[in-house]
Amino acid sequence: MGFRVGSLSATKASALVALTATLALAQPHAAFSHEIDLLVRDANGVPTVNAVAYAYPAAGDVSKWEPKPVIVDQIDKEFTPSVTVVPIGTPVYFPNNDDIRHHVYSFSPAKTFELPLYSGKPSKPVVFDKPGAVALGCNIHDWMVAYIYVVDTPYYAKTGKDGVARLENLQPEKYDVFVWHPWMRGKPEDYRKSATADGNTRVEFDVKLRANLHIRRAPALGGGGY
């Protein structure tokens, strides 16, 4: 979201600012927000989509956050989105939008859970209460894989197709920035960088990725294209 707003043209952005001011809906933090922009690339220099970036103030504690519910959909037998980053305490709903049932599970230490065969929207969300990577699967459809990366900071973002992400609502101070990706070699600590959110900060990360061992979808009945 933040990245999208940041990539608006100047004209659109100023129109948006005018509109926001007119409606007196200005967000209290917006005027004081500082950012760190990131570019994440792989060893071949290709922009890396779905990389998670997160930051901690180099001096002092992170500020508190209010976890907001998040949705990881199941549409056409795929998880959407395939990578989600949330702060600790976030409730995540796993609605099933297909007309068949799914069975969502995780064996990851950061959150082990199971939503046995179901359709529709489960009434209760799963609350992610420990930091770390959580790999999601479906018992029925082996190719269904997604990740939730849980962070203990309110400063996080995810790269788009251009490999760009923006950490927002920062103070004008120094941060330690980390990145994570499902296929990344090594730990986020291996890719740590320092950056000061002074208004024009851009940090570049070159990450080493493993080959993606993607499980092929089962052939669709009735001669579908998969």
Binding site for Cu ion (CB under 5 A): 102, 138, 140-141
Residue 164 · residue 174 · CB < 8 Å:
no
Quick check: helix, strand or coil at residue 179? strand
Report, in Å, the least distance between residue 20 CB and Cu ion. 41
> Distance between terminal CA atoms of the chain?
31
Query: For Cu ion, which is the closer residue by CB, 102 or 158?
Result: 102
Query: For Cu ion, which is the closer residue by CB, 50 or 74?
Result: 74
At residue 210, what are phi and psi to the nearest 5 degrees? -75, 160
CA distance 14 to 21: 10
Report, in Å, the least distance between residue 144 CB and Cu ion. 5
CA distance 45 to 206: 8
Amino acid letter, 122: P
Query: For Cu ion, which is the closer residue by CB, 96 or 201?
Result: 96
Q: Is the peptide bond before 172 cis (omega within 30 degrees of 0)?
A: no
Amino acid letter, 59: A
3-state helix, strand, coil in the chain (%, to 5): 10, 40, 50
Q: Which one, of 33, 49, 53, 58, lies nearest residue 203 by Cα? A: 53
Residue with the shortest CB distance to Cu ion: 138
Report, in Å, the least distance between residue 175 CB and Cu ion. 39
Query: For Cu ion, which is the closer residue by CB, 94 or 156?
Result: 94
Query: For Cu ion, which is the closer residue by CB, 136 or 138?
Result: 138
Report, in Å, the least distance between residue 212 CB and Cu ion. 20
Report, in Å, the least distance between residue 110 CB and Cu ion. 22
Report, in Å, the least distance between residue 100 CB and Cu ion. 7
Query: For Cu ion, which is the closer residue by CB, 83 or 138?
Result: 138
